[in-house]
Amino acid sequence: MQPKLELAAITDEFTPDLEPALDAMAAIGMTGAELRVVWGKNIMDLSDGEVKRAMELINARNMKVLSIASPLLKCVLPGGPEVDTRFQQDVFASKHTFETQPALMERALKLTEMTGAKIIRVFSYWRTVEPEKCVDAVCEAVTKLADQAKPHGVIIGLENEHACNVGTAAEAKVILDAVQHPNLQLVWDPANMLVAGEDPFPAGYDLLPKNRIVHVHAKDCHMEGHTPVWGPVGTRRVDWKGQIAALMRDGYKGAVSLETHWQGPNNNKFEASVICGWNLRGLLAA
C-alpha cells in the first residue's frame, strides 16, 4: 500500500554519505529529503559546488528537498537565564553562535534557492532554567526570520526541541499565538515533547493550532528517568498510529520525515534507519 502522506527523511540519519542514504530512502519509497549533515559537513557549511552535486544526486532519484534542517537559533541567548544542563545539546557539526545568526539566515535563504526547499527549520535558543522568560526574545527572533523568509516564499518551521526553550506543544502554542505570521509555522516532533517530560499525543497535539503544522518529524523512544531510550518507530511510547490518524483527520498535507535517533542493532545506524523507514511507511499506509 502507498503512504497516505509524503514519506521523507533527514538524510544523515542513514549516513552522512549522501548517495547511499538516498538509495536506501528511495528503496523504501521516500520522495522527500531534509538536508542537515552531508558528507560530514553541516548543510550550512557546504560550498555552492557541493550543494549542486547534492542536488544532482537528489534529482537523479526523482526526489525533492523539503527542508533545510538548519541550526538557526540553536545557540545561547545572551543575557537570558542560565542554560538548563539536563538536556543534551545536539549540534550536528554546527559551530555557529548567536553572533553568526544573521549570516546563517542569509545562507539558509540561498540554500532554499539552490535546492527548492520551502522550509527552513529553526529553534528557540538552548533551553534555560526559566524558558518562560525567553518568550519575548524567541518571538522577536522568529518574527524577524519570518519577515526575511516571506519575499522568498519560504516558511520558517519552528521545531519543538526538548533542549531548547520551545520543547512542548504548550510552549510552541505560546509562540505561534503571539506571532501570527503566515511564514512562521511549526515543525511538530512528538518524541521531543516526550523527552521534555510530557505526553505528546493526544494531550500535546490537541493543544496545537492544526493549520500551523507545516512538517512532522518521526522518531520513537521511552523514558528511563530523564533519559530517552530510542527504538524502532512505532514500537515505543509515542502513539504514532493515533498521531498519524489525527493528522489525516485534521487535513494535514505535509510530509512525515524520519529522524531515527535509534542506534540500531549492533550500533548500525544505517540498518536502524532502514528498519524505521519501513515501519514508518507501514504506519502511513495503514
Number of domains, the chain: 1
| CA distance linking residue 108 with residue 209, whole number of Å | 26
Output the CA–CA distances (angstroms, integers) from residue 62 to 57, 128, 176, in the order listed.
9, 42, 34
Q: Kindly report, residue by residue over 104-118, the tens digit of the pLDDT.
A: 999 999 999 999 999
SS3 for 144-188, per residue?
Answer: HHHHHHHHHCCEEEEECCCCECCCCHHHHHHHHHHCCCCCEEEEE
Give SS3 for 122: strand
Residues 6+ apart with CB under 8 A from 173: 207, 208, 209
Determine the Cα angle at 194 with ends 277 and 185, to 5°: 75
Q: Report the sign of the C-alpha dihedral through residues 7, 11, 15, 20, in that order.
A: positive
pTM above 0.85, yes or no: yes
Tell me the CATH number at 76: 3.20.20.150
pLDDT tens for the chain, 286 residues: list them. 899 999 999 999 999 999 999 999 999 999 999 999 999 999 999 999 999 999 999 999 999 999 999 999 999 999 999 999 887 776 555 577 899 999 999 999 999 999 999 999 999 999 999 999 999 999 999 999 999 999 999 999 999 999 999 999 999 999 999 999 999 999 999 999 999 999 999 999 999 999 999 999 999 999 999 899 999 999 999 999 999 999 999 999 999 999 999 999 999 999 999 999 999 999 999 9
pLDDT in tens, 68-101: 999 999 999 999 999 998 877 765 555 778 999 9
- Count other Cβ atoms within 10 Å, centred on residue 213: 22
Burial class (CB in 10 A: 0-12, 13-18, 19+), 53: middle
| Structural domain contains residue 1 | no
Asked, for residue 159, whether it belongs to a domain, the answer is yes
Whether the Cβ atoms of residue 53 and residue 41 lie closer than 8 Å to each other: no
- Domain assignment present for 74: yes
Domain contains 148: yes
Q: What are the φ/ψ torsions at residue 277 (nearest 5 degrees)?
A: -65, -45
Look at residue 123 and tell me if it is in a domain: yes
- Structural domain including 185 reads 6-285
For the chain, give the longest Cα–Cα distance: 52
Is 36 among the domain residues? yes
105, burial (CB in 10 Å: exposed 0-12, middle 13-18, buried 19+) = buried
- Contact in structure between 11 and 25 (CB atoms under 8 Å): yes
Assigned domain for 95 exists: yes
